[in-house]
Amino acid sequence: MISLWLFKMVKHRFVSSSTIYIMKLKTILISLFVLILIGLIGYRITSNKAEAGKNNNKADKKPPTMVDAIVLSEKDFANVISLSGSIEANENVEIRSEVSGIVEQIYFTEGTNVNKGQVLLKVNDIELRAQLSQATTKQNLASENERRAKLLLQKEAISQEEYDIASAEFRSLKAQSQLIQAQIAKTSIRAPFSGRIGLRNISPGTYVTPSTLITKLVSSNQVKISFSIPEKYATGVENNTIVKITMPNSSESFSAKIYAIDPEIEIATRTLKVRAIADNPSNKLIAGTFATVELPLKNIKDAILVPTEAVIPIQNGKVVYIASNGKAKEVKIETLTRTDKDVVVTSGIKAGDTLVVSGVMAIKNDAEIKVKIKESK
């Protein structure tokens, strides 16, 4: 009986231990399976994200921008700057009367040519002639008194002082007569030089004074062209330099010669005023109009010329793009002067650089570009 009981007890303990072991093993296997499943899911998610990122990068990546470029080289540059100027008459004067009076006669026709010394109008001089007649009578009397005093002085009948008084009175009256004669001469107003007379502001019978503007006289066989050049070009301009003049809305050009240069820079504008003179036999250059002046300066040797369309203005200067290893490189430049097509660059780029000349507004620094080399003109 005891043996049977012991057998049962051992058997029961063995069965219980086996059951616990199996349950633990099952738990471990299930946990391991769950961990493997979670790892597989995580790997799949990570792989999907990486593949999606690659696809997005491929989709976002843009093809290189097509641009035109030139290879820079050094050239001799004929330095000519274009400036704005104004045309002035060679001689221009306002005609006014030096004496007051009634206009008696007008001897000119508006808008016609007159010669130097030609009488333009006559101011009534009746009052002045009356004054001259009175002064002449007194002068003649004083002249006779002076003659008599001289004879008496020779006979020692009067003193030297008495003679001097008579002589001084004669000279005073003579000067007064001459003054009135000069006033009478001024009543005939004459042209101070040959030229074209302007529109008149008076009529016969008008009372004129020295402040009355009668008309204008302009000499335009030659004209002056006044213009200002920037301070940095001041040392490059000289007298007798020939400049080219063109008028607005006209293809015809004229030559003028610089004859006067202001001795100092205008502080307000930092410019130097220059004046040239041009022949104007056909009167095509009209005083008062604007003109374009092309001023040649000293030629620049071995200059770097850049097309104007390649230059981008920025807040602190100017930049261009240079092609390098398939990318656009932004370079800041310094410029000297420019023409309608080119800009002279003094620093920032050099001969041999590949300059982007098209599409510059569509690219940025380090942008990928595909370059087509054009022949530099």
For domain 125-186, the CATH architecture is: Orthogonal Bundle (1.10)
How far, in Å, CA of 333 to CA of 312, rounded?
Answer: 10
Q: Regarding beta strands 113-114 and 74-77, do their DSSP bridges make them parallel or antiparallel, or are they unpaired?
A: unpaired
Q: What is the pLDDT of residue 51?
A: 61
For domain 82-86+212-296, the CATH architecture is: Beta Barrel (2.40)
Is the pTM of the predicted complex or chain greater than 0.85?
A: no
Q: Is the pLDDT of residue 16 over 70?
A: no
Q: Is the pLDDT of residue 237 over 50?
A: yes
Mean pLDDT of 245-270: 91
How far, in Å, CA of 296 to CA of 298, rounded?
Answer: 7
Q: What is the pLDDT of residue 5?
A: 46
Residues 6+ apart with CB under 8 A from 75: 302, 303, 305
Count CB atoms within 10 A of the CB of residue 302.
10
Q: What is the pLDDT of residue 14?
A: 46
**The two three-digit tokens of residue 222, written as one number:** 């030659």
Which has more pLDDT, 274 or 34?
274
Q: Is the pLDDT of residue 82 over 90?
A: no
Dihedrals φ, ψ of 232, to 5°? -70, -15
Ramachandran assignment for 270, one of left (phi > 0), alpha (psi -120 to 50 degrees), beta (any other): left
Q: What is the pLDDT of residue 377?
A: 63
Span 97-145, pLDDT tens digits: 999 999 999 999 999 999 999 999 999 999 889 988 998 998 899 888 8
Residue 192, beta-bridge partner list: none
Q: State the pLDDT confidence band at 11, using cuts at 50, 70 and 90.
A: very low
Q: Regarding beta strands 65-71 and 369-373, do their DSSP bridges make them parallel or antiparallel, or are they unpaired?
A: parallel
The pLDDT mean for the chain works out to: 84
Which has more pLDDT, 265 or 14?
265
For domain 66-78+300-373, the CATH architecture is: Beta Barrel (2.40)
Q: What is the pLDDT of residue 145?
A: 87
Which has more pLDDT, 261 or 300?
261
Q: Which residue has the tokens 């050094």?
A: 74
Q: What is the pLDDT of residue 259?
A: 95
User: Buried b vs exposed e over 75-113: b needs ≥16 C-beta within 10 Å?
Assistant: bebebebebebebbbbbbeebebebebebeebebeeeee
Which has more pLDDT, 376 or 203?
203
How far, in Å, CA of 317 to CA of 305, rounded?
Answer: 17
**The two three-digit tokens of residue 37, written as one number:** 């499943």
Q: What is the pLDDT of residue 49?
A: 63
Span 33-57, pLDDT tens digits: 667 767 777 666 776 666 655 555 5
Span 157-198, pLDDT tens digits: 888 888 888 889 989 989 999 999 999 999 999 999 999 999
How far, in Å, CA of 159 to CA of 147, rounded?
Answer: 14
Dihedrals φ, ψ of 324, to 5°? -150, 115
Q: What is the pLDDT of residue 78?
A: 76
Span 304-359, pLDDT tens digits: 888 888 899 988 889 999 988 888 899 999 887 777 788 888 888 988 898 998 88
Residues 6+ apart with CB under 8 A from 234: 265, 272
Q: State the pLDDT confidence band at 258, using cuts at 50, 70 and 90.
A: very high
Q: Is the pLDDT of residue 298 over 80?
A: no
Return the ∠ at Cα 11 (arms to 5 and 13), rounded to 5°.
105
